[in-house]
Amino acid sequence: MTRLFRAIWLVLTLRCEEADRLRSVRAMRDLTRSERLAERVHAGLCKSCRHARKQLDALDHALQDLRETSDAEPVPMPAETRERLERALRKRSDDRP
């Protein structure tokens, strides 16, 4: 499969569960161009995913505002916790039909 075909296929076949996973992954790493496009197109067509995306965006903005106004030092996520989350997200992605 060519890269373009895979990107188009992702956009056309993205399900709500996968869009939700991509929104979660976005907090840990930058999405690829095709992942971003697929999630945006899906959110544009799916009212519940659009609502979930807006809620996550609002939460992200609130957290960013809190970071900017707080004088407390951020606490880094322990490596073990990050690895466990990444494994769970990969497993969830691999279990997708």
Task: State the DSSP H helix or E strand holding residue 35, giving kind and residue range, or none if neither.
Answer: helix 33-45
- Distance between alpha carbon 13 and the CA centroid of its chain, in Å? 16
Cα separation, 95 vs 26, in Å, equals: 19
Return the minimum-mean-pLDDT range out of 8-12, 13-17, 52-56, 61-65.
8-12
Please give the mean pLDDT across all residues of the chain: 84
- Please provide residue 78's backbone torsions phi and psi, each rounded to the nearest 5 degrees: -60, 145
Q: Predicted confidence band at 56 (pLDDT cuts at 50, 70, 90)?
A: confident
Does 97 score more than 60 pLDDT? no
Q: What is the CA radius of gyration of the chain?
A: 16
Q: Across the chain, how many H-helices and E-strands are there?
A: 5, 0
Q: Predicted confidence band at 3 (pLDDT cuts at 50, 70, 90)?
A: confident
Could you tell me which residue, 58 or 10, shows the higher pLDDT? Answer: 58
pTM comes to 0.60
Does 82 score more than 80 pLDDT? yes
90-93 long-range CB contacts below 8 Å, 24 or more apart? 92/21, 93/18, 93/21
What is the predicted pLDDT for the residue at 96?
58
Tokens of 61: 């903005």
